[in-house]
Structure 1
Amino acid sequence: MQPSAPHYDERLTAPASWWAITALLGISGGLVALPLGTLPMLAGLVGASALAALVVSSYGSVRIRVVAGSLVAGDARIPLTALGEPVPLDAEEARAWRSYKADPRAFMLLRSYVPTALKVEITDPDDPTPYVYLSTRDPQALAAALTAVRAA
């Protein structure tokens, strides 16, 4: 395996129900413009559908990767040397760390439609961020990838 090949790669895609809502928003845009005629109705349908699809697609395109000695989560790139031990969180623990246990200084990559997460302490003394919280569908695999890359 090449050193730059990803050891873990996950895209937090939006659920199918969000795409159904996108279609309904497109239909609503067409219905709003219906009294103005056929062409405005089609323009409303296409415009509202495209806008809603753009929002859902961009929100659901965030990636979590472990690549070349770094954890890449969305726009953040964190060197593995600055990370402590990963802690996989089940749905109940993840909910607790998203709410009453949360530290406002933490880096949190949240997706409401992903119930499980991974919490990793930041060990860099110059970084005020106490931990990284990542919504992930497979926290055990992400923790294993972080541990394997740090051990190598």
Structure 2
Amino acid sequence: MEIYRERLSPTPWLFVATALLIPASLLVFLPISMIAGIIAATATYGAAVVILLVTTPKLVVTETELIAGRARLPRDVVGEVSGYRGAAATLQRGRLLDARAWLLIRGWIHPVVKVELRDDEDPAPYWLLSTRRPDELVAALARAAD
């Protein structure tokens, strides 16, 4: 049973920024042909949008595991969980980041949740996950532990 689900989908400004592929494609293909330029611009932007949507990871908490993208973490190895926003989140993603940590970070999502691991076999000391709702994710992981 799912306790929590979140899709880390791109923000609208990312689609606007990706639209810069349209004039770039037109600059390359318009000297060849107007039709080729329009087709190339449309196809390039459409492919970029599809890639952004298809590669969007999900965070899912069930009674038995935490699923972050394609990675799965059994609940029995989840240790302390803490959420960060604002400057504290920036520190977690920057100066305080352990190089061994497993990351699921999206630049357009600022809050993060740090999931400590209680597994001596795992080389990663913790997972750091981008999330728009850090408090809900922390609560869901606490609920799953009970």
TM-score range, shorter chain: over 0.9
CA contact (8 A) 1:12 1:62 kept: yes
Alignment of 1:1-150 (within 5 A): 5-59=1-55, 61-150=56-145
- Matched position secondary structure for 2:60: strand
TM-score scaled by length of structure 1: 0.89
Cα offset, 1:33, TM superposition: 1.0
AA partner of residue 78 (structure 1)? L
CA RMSD, 1 decimal:
1.4
Give the whole-Å Cα distance in 1 for the aligned partners of 2:81 and 2:134: 9
Structure 1 outlier segments of 4+, above 6 Å: none
Cα offset, 1:91, TM superposition: 1.8
CA contact (8 A) 1:8 1:65 kept: yes
AA partner of residue 30 (structure 1)? L
Cα offset, 1:36, TM superposition: 1.2
Give the whole-Å Cα distance in 1 for the aligned partners of 2:103 and 2:86: 16
- Matched position secondary structure for 2:88: helix
Give the whole-Å Cα distance in 1 for the aligned partners of 2:46 and 2:57: 19
Deviates more, 1:47-56 or 1:98-107: 47-56
Give the whole-Å Cα distance in 1 for the aligned partners of 2:45 and 2:62: 35
AA partner of residue 52 (structure 1)? A
Give the whole-Å Cα distance in 2 for the aligned partners of 1:126 and 1:91: 32
Give the whole-Å Cα distance in 2 for the aligned partners of 1:24 and 1:98: 28
Percent identity between matched residues is 32
Cα offsets for 1:51-93 (capped at 9, x unmatched): 321332244x111010241000011100010011211112211
Cα offsets for 1:77-136 (capped at 9, x unmatched): 000100112111122111111111111111111111111111011001221210111111
Cα offset, 1:48, TM superposition: 1.5
What number of residue pairs does the alignment pair up? 146
AA partner of residue 145 (structure 2)? R
- Matched position secondary structure for 1:115: coil
Cα offsets for 1:13-54 (capped at 9, x unmatched): 101011112223124313421121122112211222123213
